[in-house]
Amino acid sequence: MQSKLIKGLAAIAAGALVFAAAASRTHVTAAAPGAGSVMQSIGPLAFGPDGTLFAADNKAATIYALDLGAQATGTKAGAGDVSGIDQKIAALLGTDVAAIAVTDLAVHPKTHNAYIAVMRGASADAKPALLRVDGDGTIAPIALDTVTFTSVALSNAPAAAEGSRNPRADAVTDMAFVSGKLIVAGLSNEEFASKLRSFAYPFAAADPGTSVEIFHGNHGRLETRAPVYTFIPYTIDGKPYVIASYTCTPLVKFPIDSLTGSKVLGTTIAELGAGNRPLDMILYKKDGKEYLLMSNNSRGVMKIPTAGFGAATGITAKVTSETAGIPYEKITAMQGIEQMDLLDAQRSIVLARAGAGLNLSAVALP
């Protein structure tokens, strides 16, 4: 494994040089695909059903649609377990583990290889990288200098700011591809800052997005500025929805057909506990029932039955108990989960922190 990592160093170094470049862009470049990514950062990832990889560049307030070509296929389908994957990635990138930050994990819909987005370096000098893990556990850099792409710029992204509270870092917090559209959660520079955007693909126009408002039961008030941190597309009675979660863990549903501009009030169907930030979520079926599995930074992994999502009564008054609405089960066997995606019908693929290290593992769905 180590020899394979060293061999990849030259390729990833070349990609980093391209990443460092800057380029002026129109809002939409769909009509003229480019080659050689000029991404300044890489954060949330989402795959389309044909294997197109959507990657958010929050620093540039731009979303890229990447055609991975031959690089989409590893030696073996699936994603093998890799212990200490953060150390192996750092070695591949020619740095130490303290200098990298994993920003997302996504599974290719056809090869089931895992893709990991990483920022290498600190603050303004950090550079993006994209890596593929195949069924043998082989880590390979994606040479983005050879990838063709189209892109769309966010027309109303928040301005960048110095320090830990940089709203530009939340310009895009999560993405999902649904019925020919890329649904994007994040912040804008407007008074009602929290947005859900809907981009038709191939990109044709820059959507300013719909401001999303929620009643946060734990806080006892309406909120318009906190971003959605993670969401899934979900169908209720044949109608497409977004099921979204925020800091302090309200769970909220929005009809996708309501994302047409101006402002929409979501329906809060659960309060899952204060002092917590949701990290990732997946949807799966087991034993004839459907569940949402959500990882959190302080409340572990929650298994939430979806059967009640449609009929759930909206929470519209302050919640004085710890939780309310749709119930959940805590999965104590899943610890330290920072990123996850659905690997197949029986397993999830997770990035889990154990001690000071980060491991990539396939885990049976609970």
How far apart are the C-alpha atoms of 228 and 210, rounded to whole Å? 12
- The pLDDT tens digits for 117-140 are 999 997 778 999 999 999 999 999
What pLDDT was estimated at residue 12?
Answer: 38
* Mean pLDDT, rounded, for 266-291: 97
What pLDDT was estimated at residue 144?
Answer: 86
pLDDT cut 90: percent of the chain above it:
84
- 27: pLDDT strictly greater than 90: no
- The pLDDT tens digits for 346-357 are 999 999 999 889
Q: Locate the domains of the chain by residue range.
A: 1-20+35-153, 165-277+306-324
How far apart are the C-alpha atoms of 187 and 195, rounded to whole Å? 6
- Residue 11 is classified by DSSP as H
- 22: pLDDT strictly greater than 60: no
What pLDDT was estimated at residue 33?
Answer: 61
* Preceding omega of 158 cis (within 30 degrees of 0): no
Q: What angle do CA 132, 133, 139 make, to 5 degrees?
A: 85
Entry pTM: 0.90
* Mean pLDDT, rounded, for 327-332: 98
- 161: pLDDT strictly greater than 50: yes
How far apart are the C-alpha atoms of 169 and 54, rounded to whole Å? 17
Q: Which residues have a Cβ under 8 Å from the Cβ of 297 and sit 6 or more positions away?
A: 276, 277, 278, 279
What pLDDT was estimated at residue 261?
Answer: 86
- 189: pLDDT strictly greater than 70: yes
